[in-house]
Amino acid sequence: MSQVEPLAELVESERIHQRAVWEAGAARFLRFPLSHETIGLLSLDRLVEVIKVSPKEILPIPQVPDYLLGIANRRGEAVWIVDLLYLMGATHLSQRELVPEVYMAILVQAQAQAIGLLVEQVSSVEVYNPTNLQPFSAQTLPSKLLPFLEGYFVDSEGNTLALVNVDPIIEAVENCNREIL
Q: CA dihedral defined by 21, 26, 32, 38, rounded to 10 degrees?
A: -90
Give the CATH H-level superfamily of domain 7-180.
CheA-289, Domain 4 (2.40.50.180)
Task: Read off the pLDDT of residues 50-104 as tens digits, 9 standing for 90 and up.
Answer: 999 999 999 999 988 999 999 999 888 889 999 998 888 777 677 777 777 889 9
What are the residue ranges spanned by the domains of the chain? Answer: 7-180
pTM of the predicted structure, to 2 decimals = 0.81
Task: Read off the pLDDT of residues 101-152 as tens digits, 9 standing for 90 and up.
Answer: 889 999 998 877 789 999 999 999 999 999 999 998 777 777 777 888 999 9
pLDDT at 178 exceeding the cut of 50: yes
Residues in the chain: 181
Alpha-carbon distance 30 to 40, whole Å?
8
